[in-house]
Chains A and B, each alone.
Chain A
Amino acid sequence: MSKRMIYLDNNATTPCDPRVVEAMLPYFYENPGNAASRSHPFGWVAEEAVDYAREQIAQLIHVDPKEVIFTSGATEADNLAIKGVYEMYKRKGNHIITVRTEHKAVLDTCDHLEKLGAEITYLDVQNDGLIKLSDLEAAIKPTTILVSIMWANNETGVIQPMKEIGEICQKKGVLLFSDATQAVGKIPIDPKATGVHLMAFTSHKMYGPKGVGALYVSRKNPRVKVTAQIDGGGHERGMRSGTLNVPGIVGFGKAAELARLEMAQDAERLSKLRDRLQEGLMALEETVVNGNEAHRMPHVANISFKHVEGEGLMMTFNQTIALSSGSACTSASLEPSYVLVSMGLGDDLAHSSLRMSLGRFSTPEDVEEAITLISNGVIHMRELSPIWEMYKEGIDLSKIEWSEH
């Protein structure tokens, strides 16, 4: 990339902070040890580095370091939590409750378990993306062994009422797992105080390297166990075998420490930039914000620009701005975002949506340039859009008999 790009896709992945890279470098050549090698200094140094990182991560989420199980990322942590709990507790029941707007790593895992005999309930969300607590309460039954609800949504940034969800699960005596991939490192997260017993998160969404994540598993009140999904040398207290990714874990630890120290100021700065971005784009007519704005991650805005198709719109500026769209025009299914559709947005509005996610390295200049380029793109695409023209002529688009494809 020779030209300067504006990166507004931090929910997809964040750049690795240079301070994180620096912390990792000694663990490639100078300190190459395997953290499981107990008999020589190479192993000791590696183990010490892993222990230190585990502590840095535990501090960020206010848990005991022993409760942090390293994985290859959040997808693996999601799998380990849900499949691991199901296998461990299926004698007690086979019912799992989750939400329609969860990440595919959760939904497809539940789908997999359903084929093996699990019963899955998918909670609907309201138009603002939040679940209804009464729905959750009503869905829990004697056979329920796990509730799986993501902390913050990747597409909309909507934050679920985890504290209240935790209280319901506590009252009903069921385990609560949360995929907190988009939340950890960005907003204060305290699973113990929230009543969350298992929690998945990952390094590369918080300015750490890719390929390393973690699952928090409560060891006290209650003591939760998960059946290992990867068998081997018995690493990570037997819950996840495999040689530890020492440089990755060191980077993850450093990223967690930086997040703990800088989260508050980052969030404050980014929410102002996000608000400016949103305000600038909302100046365009026929534009809507998707998701509850009061319960939303500080760096995310998901906006639909009516009568413009998202992928085409992105083509007007994708040489300069990187972001993503709820239009799934590139996917073979041609289905738009299931997250937005679950919130009751019509498929047309889902096709017209853009997700902008700011990050630690976003600047006010980025935001101003993005407002200009995206606005120009919307105006240009509307000039090309027959349904914009029809809307402007006062034609009711819902009354037209569209041809099926």
Chain B
Amino acid sequence: MAYSDKVLEHFKNPRNVGTLDKSKKNVGTGLVGAPECGDVMRLQIEVDDATGVITDAKFKTFGCGSAIASSSLATEWIIGKNVDEAATIDNMEIVEELALPPVKIHCSVLAEDAIKGAIRDYRIKNGLPVEEEVKAH
């Protein structure tokens, strides 16, 4: 199966790979997927408490090229966004941007869940209201 140029580009030059200090109160971590399923994504955000803007984001992903590209793209999209705004990112936007084939849609779902998970963790840590459970797939 051939990958789209955008997937290849993100795979070759992944943005924002790394780890943020999870002991910091303004850092939220989302860890989704499972090793048995062949995909694990960890996405972290650092938030400016005063403005609610995501100032930094990092990811690490165990998975195929599409999973890595989806998480790389997700970090790129959320940096600079307000937390509430970032929470509205839909997996289908990632599918479109990366031209993911149907068998790879679950990669984009994971990326969406990872963003939501990181935001949820940040909100819990800071005593902010949390939306309903991350939807299960």
Contact B64 A309 (CB under 8 A): yes
Cα distance A351–B64 when bound, in Å?
Answer: 10
Q: Is B34 an interface residue (CB 8 A)?
A: yes
Q: Is A193 an interface residue (CB 8 A)?
A: no
Interface digits, A326-348 against B, CB 8 Å rule (1 contact, 0 not)? 01011110101000000000111
Q: Smallest Cβ distance from A213 to chain B, in angstroms?
A: 27
- CB under 8 Å from chain A, chain B span 91-137: 103, 106, 109-110, 113, 136-137
* Contacting residues, chain B, for A346 (C-beta < 8 A): 35-36
* Contacting residues, chain A, for B137 (C-beta < 8 A): 405
Q: Smallest Cβ distance from B68 to chain A, in angstroms?
A: 6
Contact A312 B68 (CB under 8 A): yes
Cα distance A319–B64 when bound, in Å?
Answer: 16
Contact B36 A347 (CB under 8 A): yes
Q: Count of chain A residues with Cβ under 8 Å from any Cβ of B?
A: 29
Contact A384 B64 (CB under 8 A): no
Q: Is A388 an interface residue (CB 8 A)?
A: yes
Contact B60 A329 (CB under 8 A): no
Contact A404 B136 (CB under 8 A): yes
- The listed residue (B19, B40, B64) touching A402 by CB distance below 8 A is B40
* Contacting residues, chain A, for B3 (C-beta < 8 A): 315
Contact A386 B62, CB 8 Å, known A347-B37, A404-B136, A405-B33: yes
* Contacting residues, chain B, for A307 (C-beta < 8 A): 35, 62
**For chain B, what secondary structure do more than half of its interface residues adopt (helix, strand, loop), or is it mixed?**
mixed
Cα distance A336–B64 when bound, in Å?
Answer: 13
Contact A385 B103 (CB under 8 A): no
Q: Smallest Cβ distance from B3 to chain A, in angstroms?
A: 7
Q: Is B1 an interface residue (CB 8 A)?
A: yes
Interface digits, A364-405 against B, CB 8 Å rule (1 contact, 0 not)? 000000000000000000011111110000000100001111
Contact B63 A309 (CB under 8 A): yes
- CB under 8 Å from chain A, chain B span 1-48: 1, 3, 11, 14, 17, 19, 31-42
Sample (10) of A-B pairs whose CB atoms are under 8 Å apart: A309-B67, A312-B64, A312-B67, A347-B35, A348-B35, A351-B35, A385-B61, A386-B60, A403-B136, A405-B32
16 additional contacts, CB 8 Å, given A307-B35, A384-B62?
A311-B38, A311-B64, A312-B63, A312-B65, A312-B67, A315-B65, A329-B38, A334-B103, A334-B106, A346-B35, A351-B35, A383-B17, A389-B19, A403-B33, A403-B34, A403-B136
Binding site for A on B (CB under 8 A): 1, 3, 11, 14, 17, 19, 31-42, 60-65, 67-68, 103, 106, 109-110, 113, 136-137
Q: Which 5 A-B pairs have the closest CB atoms?
A: A402-B34, A348-B35, A386-B42, A347-B36, A386-B60
